[in-house]
Structure 1
C-alpha cells in the first residue's frame, strides 16, 4: 500500500509518496504566493493550499495504481488563523505564524491576563505568532468579519477538512494556538473565555496518528482514489519532522533548518521552563516535547543570497568559506522579529563588525553562524533545565549544506546525525498515515523500523572552543540593541 505525506509549508506544499516499507517513491512540490499587506504582516489564501495540494497529489501518483493509496497524513505550518463562515467560505486570508501584527494583543495576554495564568492554563505564554493573539486582533480590528466566524482552524486542518469533511486538529498543532491545555490534551475553558470563543468553533482534537475520516466521494473521484482512503490527523510541522527523523521517545533532539529554525527535544514527561522561553507542546508520538523556535533560519540565507547578492547558487557562495570560528562579522537573524528565547516581534536583522577588509564570504558566513548562534540560545535554556543532549538529528532545506551542518555541530557542541532522507514533515506525515492505517502499531515502532542515520558530523574540540568565544560575544549583541528595536 501507498501513503501520502503532505507538508503544507510557507512557500510551497511538498508531497511525498511512501510505500509501507518506507521506500520513497516520489516527491512533488507546488508553490503558492505569500502576501505582506503591511510591514510585519504575513498572509496566504487557504484556497491556494488546497488547489496546489490537489494538483500535487495528482502529479505525485502518476504511474502508480491509485487504488493502492491507503492513507494521507499531514505536517503543516503552525499557528496560522484560518476562519470559515456558516457556508464554509474562508472569511479572510489566513494570518500566518510569522505575522507580527499582534504586539498589543500579545502584551495584553502576557501582562493583563498574566504569564503565570497563561502558563497554568496552556503551559505557554503568548507569542506574537500564536493563534490566540490573532483571534483577539481580528475581534478588535475586523469585528464584522469576526461575527461571521463559525469554524477556527489551523492551516493543515483546512486541507483535512476539504479532503474529508472532518473538522479536526491534532494535539501537537493545537498546542501552538495558546488555547490548549497541553498537559491534559484538551481545550482550555479559561482561554476560550479570554478569547470570547466557544468550543463549538474549535475543531475536534485527535492524536496525530488517529484517523479523522475518509476522502469525500467527489475528492476521491477527482484523484482517482478509493473512497476508503483514510485521512489521518497529522501534526504540526516540527512534530511531523521529528517523526520523520525518528525524534520520538525520551530525550531525543532534532534541529530543523527550514524557513524557521527549531530545536526540538522529545520527552516522556510533561515539563515547562520557568521563563517559558521554550514552548511546551504535545508530541505526535503521544507524549510531550520542548521546542525553541526562531522565526528566520534558512530564510535568512535565502534572503541574503537571493535578495541582496542576487544569486540562487547557495553552494557557490559558501565555497570560499574556509576559516570557521575566526569570522569578525556577526549577524542577528531576526528578520521577522524573534520568538525563542527573546519573544520580541520588533527585533530585526543586524550585521555587526564589518571593516574595510570584510568580504562577501565573511557576510555569508556570518548569516550561517548567526542562525546557529540563535539556535544555541534555545539549547542553553534546555541545558539550564538539566536536560543533557549529546547529539541531534537535522532536517530542512538548510541541512543540505555540509558547511552549515559543520557550523551547527561546533557552535552547539553536538554530534549531528544526518538521516537517510531529510524530508522531515512530509515523511512524518506519511509515517503517521501508515500508523493510522494499521501498517505499524505505533509511532515509535515505525520510527525504529524506517529511520536510518547515514552520516554523523562530529564537533572538533579546537573549533568548539573558538565558537564558544564567538557565541559569548553574540549573546551580548541583542541586549545592547534591544531598546533600539522599539
Structure 2
C-alpha cells in the first residue's frame, strides 16, 4: 500500500495525517505551539516552533508506522493564511511571524486605500484592505521597524516557510499568495503596480507555482531527524481554506462549504476570476489549477464557544456544556448573541466592533446562553450566504466541517438558518486531507483532484431544513442584522476604556 502525508499548519497546532491510497487516515499526530500576545491586538508566533513541532510530529508518525518506509511517496502542506515571515539574504528569520488575527495595522489599511484607491485595489487583488492581510503587516514593519525591513530579502507565508525548512527551496503558490494583497488574482502573477505603489521590492515576492507541483524533496537533515526517506516528494500545498475546499470536495460550480473552527468560513467554488462581489466577500485562487473561490469569514466562530466554555465552564467538556441546548426553543427565549469578540470580517470589516448578549433576563440559564452563542455564530456565517444569494448564486447544499459538524443540534440549526441541505462526512479532516489529496494527485495516483475526491470522501448524514424553523430563524436573522449598526457607536465610545 502506498501513502502520502498531509500537514496542516494551523494557528494553535500542526496536525499531520498519514493517508493511504484508499483515502483512509491511518494515523494522525498533533503538536501544539503557543501564540505570542505582547500587546492588545498583537498576535505573533515564532516560526521555529512550526518547524520543530512538525519535525517531532513526523518522527512520531514514522516511529509508529509498521510498513515499508519507501511506500510513503509524498508530502504536502496546508497553512494558516496571511501571516508575515521575513527572511534576510542568508535565509535567517528577522522577527517573529505576524499572524492573520493580528489587528495592529488599521492605519496601514487606510494608507492602502489612500494610495491605490478601493476600486483599483479590488480590480487587482479582488479583496479589501483588512488588518489580517499580509501587505498591511509588511507596511507596518516598513514604518515601525525600517532597519529590519531593509534587511529583508524574501517575504514568506507560514506554510511556505515550513516547506522551505523541509526542502531548502523557496516558493509560494497562488491560493496563499492571493491573501497577501500583492497578487493579481485573475492574472495569477505578483502585481508590479501594487509593489511599486508601496515601495515593496518585487524581489521580496517568491516564485509562484501550482499547489500540486513537486517543489523538491526532504533535505538530508530533515530526513535524518524524521526517519522519512529523502526520496519523498514535497508538493507546494495551499492555503488552509483552499485545502479545506479540496478536502471536502468543493471542486466544481455550485458546491459550498461551511467550516467552523477558531474562525468560521463559508466558501463557494468559482470557475472564473473576473466576477465582481464589490469586495463584500473574499475572492481567492483555489488550490485546484485555474479555479477560484469566494469566501466569507466570521473571525470568532468556534472561538466564541470556546471563550464561553473557558469563561463559564472551564472544567467541563463541550458535550457537557451543550447538554440541554436541544430543549431550548429557537431564539433562546429572547436571547441573542453577536460573535464579535475580536472584531468582524464579513460583512463588517471592523476591528473595533465587539460582541453582545441582547435580551438577557432572569429566566435565562446557562443552556439559553449556550444556544444563543451557537445561533449567533450561525447567523454570522449566514451573512456570507446571504451575500452569495444576493449576487445570484444558488446555494442548496452545504458541506459542514469543523466543530459545527460535531453536534447534531448544531447541524440542524445550520440547515434551518441557512435554509439549505447540510451534508456531513463520515470522516472529516479538513485542510490536512486537502493537503494529502494534493500530494496524492501530485504523485499521479489520480488523473484529477475530482477523481481523488470521489475515492477519498464519504457522506455520512444529511440534514434538511424544517420549514417552520426556517421561518422563525428568518425573522430572528433580521433582528440580528440590526445589532451591528445599533452597537457600533457604543463600541467605538468604549475604546477609551480599553487598556
Q: Normalised by the size of structure 2, how large is the TM-score?
A: 0.95
* Paired position in structure 2 for 1:407: 413
Task: Tell me if the contact between 1:67 and 1:224 (Cα under 8 Å) persists in the aligned partners.
Answer: no
* Paired position in structure 2 for 1:371: 377
Task: Tell me if the contact between 2:272 and 2:292 (Cα under 8 Å) persists in the aligned partners.
Answer: yes
Correspondence for 2:279 among 270, 276, 279: 276
Task: Please list the CA deviations of residues 149-206 of structure 1 after superposition, one character each: whole Å capped at 9, or x if unmatched.
Answer: 1110101111110001111111111111111111011111111113322222112111
Alpha-carbon deviation of 1:484?
Answer: 2.3
Task: Name the stretch that deviates more: 110-119 or 268-277.
Answer: 268-277
* Paired position in structure 2 for 1:389: 395
Hey, what's the Cα distance between the residues in 2 that align with 1:290 and 1:189? 24
Task: Tell me if the contact between 1:8 and 1:156 (Cα under 8 Å) persists in the aligned partners.
Answer: yes
- Structure 1 residue 86 corresponds to structure 2 residue 89: yes
Correspondence for 2:147 among 120, 138, 144: 144
Hey, what's the Cα distance between the residues in 2 that align with 1:400 and 1:424? 13
Task: Please list the CA deviations of residues 25-47 of structure 1 after superposition, one character each: whole Å capped at 9, or x if unmatched.
Answer: 00111100011111121111100
Alpha-carbon deviation of 1:420?
Answer: 2.0
- Structure 1 residue 161 corresponds to structure 2 residue 157: no
* Paired position in structure 1 for 2:229: 226
Q: How many residues align?
A: 486
Hey, what's the Cα distance between the residues in 1 that align with 2:198 and 2:34? 30
Hey, what's the Cα distance between the residues in 2 that align with 1:122 and 1:312? 44
Task: Tell me if the contact between 2:328 and 2:368 (Cα under 8 Å) persists in the aligned partners.
Answer: no
* Paired position in structure 2 for 1:39: 40
Correspondence for 2:193 among 187, 190, 193: 190
Task: Name the stretch that deviates more: 166-175 or 188-197.
Answer: 188-197
Hey, what's the Cα distance between the residues in 2 that align with 1:290 and 1:167? 27
* Paired position in structure 1 for 2:328: 323
- Structure 1 residue 304 corresponds to structure 2 residue 305: no
Task: Tell me if the contact between 2:352 and 2:491 (Cα under 8 Å) persists in the aligned partners.
Answer: yes
* Paired position in structure 1 for 2:65: 63
Alpha carbons of 1:126 and 1:413: their partners in 2 closer, same or farther (altered >3 Å)?
A: same
Hey, what's the Cα distance between the residues in 1 that align with 2:230 and 2:74? 11
* Paired position in structure 1 for 2:215: 212
Alpha-carbon deviation of 1:432?
Answer: 0.4
Task: Name the stretch that deviates more: 391-400 or 407-416.
Answer: 391-400
Alpha-carbon deviation of 1:271?
Answer: 4.1
Task: Tell me if the contact between 2:56 and 2:226 (Cα under 8 Å) persists in the aligned partners.
Answer: no
Correspondence for 1:361 among 362, 367, 373: 367
* Paired position in structure 2 for 1:295: 299
Secondary structure class of the residue paired with 1:127? coil
Secondary structure class of the residue paired with 1:100? coil
- Structure 1 residue 449 corresponds to structure 2 residue 455: yes
* Paired position in structure 2 for 1:476: 482
Task: Tell me if the contact between 2:75 and 2:233 (Cα under 8 Å) persists in the aligned partners.
Answer: yes
Task: Tell me if the contact between 1:324 and 1:463 (Cα under 8 Å) persists in the aligned partners.
Answer: no
Query: What 5-or-longer segments of structure 2 have no aligned partner?
Result: 493-499
Hey, what's the Cα distance between the residues in 1 that align with 2:246 and 2:479? 35
Secondary structure class of the residue paired with 1:249? coil
Hey, what's the Cα distance between the residues in 1 that align with 2:259 and 2:73? 28
Hey, what's the Cα distance between the residues in 1 that align with 2:329 and 2:278? 33
* Paired position in structure 1 for 2:473: 467
Root-mean-square deviation (CA, aligned residues, Å) is 1.3
- Structure 1 residue 440 corresponds to structure 2 residue 443: no
Alpha-carbon deviation of 1:330?
Answer: 1.2
Alpha-carbon deviation of 1:74?
Answer: 1.2
5 Å-filtered alignment, 1:231-270, equals 231-270=234-273
Task: Tell me if the contact between 1:394 and 1:422 (Cα under 8 Å) persists in the aligned partners.
Answer: no
Task: Please list the CA deviations of residues 93-112 of structure 1 after superposition, one character each: whole Å capped at 9, or x if unmatched.
Answer: 11111111111111221244
Alpha-carbon deviation of 1:307?
Answer: 2.8
Alpha-carbon deviation of 1:310?
Answer: 1.6
Task: Name the stretch that deviates more: 305-314 or 180-189.
Answer: 305-314
Hey, what's the Cα distance between the residues in 2 that align with 1:194 and 1:443? 38
Alpha carbons of 1:234 and 1:361: their partners in 2 closer, same or farther (altered >3 Å)?
A: same
Q: Normalised by the size of structure 1, how large is the TM-score?
A: 0.98
Query: What 5-or-longer segments of structure 1 have no aligned partner?
Result: none
* Paired position in structure 2 for 1:29: 30
Alpha-carbon deviation of 1:312?
Answer: 4.0
- Structure 1 residue 13 corresponds to structure 2 residue 19: no
Alpha-carbon deviation of 1:273?
Answer: 3.7
Task: Tell me if the contact between 1:253 and 1:264 (Cα under 8 Å) persists in the aligned partners.
Answer: yes
Give the ranges of 4+ consecutive aligned residues of structure 1 lying more than 4 Å apart after TM superposition.
Answer: none
* Paired position in structure 2 for 1:53: 54
Task: Please list the CA deviations of residues 282-340 of structure 1 after superposition, one character each: whole Å capped at 9, or x if unmatched.
Answer: 11112011000111111111111013332341111111112342321111111111111
Secondary structure class of the residue paired with 1:178? coil
Correspondence for 1:332 among 335, 338, 341: 338
Alpha-carbon deviation of 1:22?
Answer: 0.7
